[in-house]
Amino acid sequence: MYFRMSFSVVFAIALLATGCKSSGPAVVADAIYSGGPIVTVNDAQPTAEALAVKDRKILAVGTKSDIDQAYKGTATKTINLGGKILAPGFVDGHAHFLGLGAQAVGANLLAQPDGTVNTIDDLVAKLREFAKSPDVDRTGWIFGMGYDDALLGRHPTRDDLDKVSKDKPVIAVHISGHFSAMNSAGLRKIGYTAATKNPEGGVIRRRPGSMEPNGVLEELASIPVMIAAISPATQADKDYYAQRALDMAKSFGYTTLSEGRAFAPNHQDLVGFATRGLLDIDVTSYIDHVDRRIITTEWFGHSYKNHYRIAGIKITLDGSPQGRTAWRTIPYRIPPDGQKKGYKGYPAIPDTKVVAAVFEESYQKGWPVHVHANGDAAIDQMIKAIRPAHQTHGPGDRRHTLIHGQFLRKDQIPALKELQIFPSLFPMHTFYWGDWYNQIIGPELAQQISPMRSVLNAGMIATSHTDAPVALPNLMQVMWATVNRTSRSGKVMGPDERLTPIEALKAITLWGAYEHFEEKTKGSLEPGKLADMVILSDNPLTIDPKKINTIVVQETIKEGNTVYKREQ
Question: Residue 348 CB: number of other CB atoms within 10 A?
Answer: 23
pTM of the model: 0.91
- E strand spans, 385-449: 400-404, 421-425
Confidence of residue 4 (pLDDT cuts 50, 70, 90): very low
433-446 per-position pLDDT tens digit: 999 999 999 999 99
If residue 28 lies in a helix (H) or strand (E), which one and from where to where? none
**8 Å CB contact between 406 and 426:** yes
Quote the percentage of the chain above a pLDDT of 90.
Answer: 92
Cα 341 from Cα 364, distance rounded (Å): 43
Cα 452 from Cα 189, distance rounded (Å): 44
Query: Is the per-residue pLDDT at 13 higher than 80?
Result: no
Phi, psi of 273 (to 5 degrees): -60, -40
126-154 per-position pLDDT tens digit: 999 999 999 999 999 999 999 999 999 99
Cα 370 from Cα 287, distance rounded (Å): 9
CA torsion 359-360-361-366 (nearest 10°) is: 80
Cα 219 from Cα 124, distance rounded (Å): 23
Mean pLDDT of all residues in 482-502: 97
103-129 per-position pLDDT tens digit: 999 999 999 999 999 999 999 999 999
**Domains in the chain: ranges and CATH:** 2-83 (2.30.40.10), 97-230 (3.10.310.70)
Quote the percentage of the chain above a pLDDT of 70.
Answer: 96
517-568 per-position pLDDT tens digit: 999 999 999 999 999 999 999 999 999 999 999 999 999 999 999 999 999 7
205-254 per-position pLDDT tens digit: 999 999 999 999 999 999 999 999 999 989 999 999 999 999 999 999 99
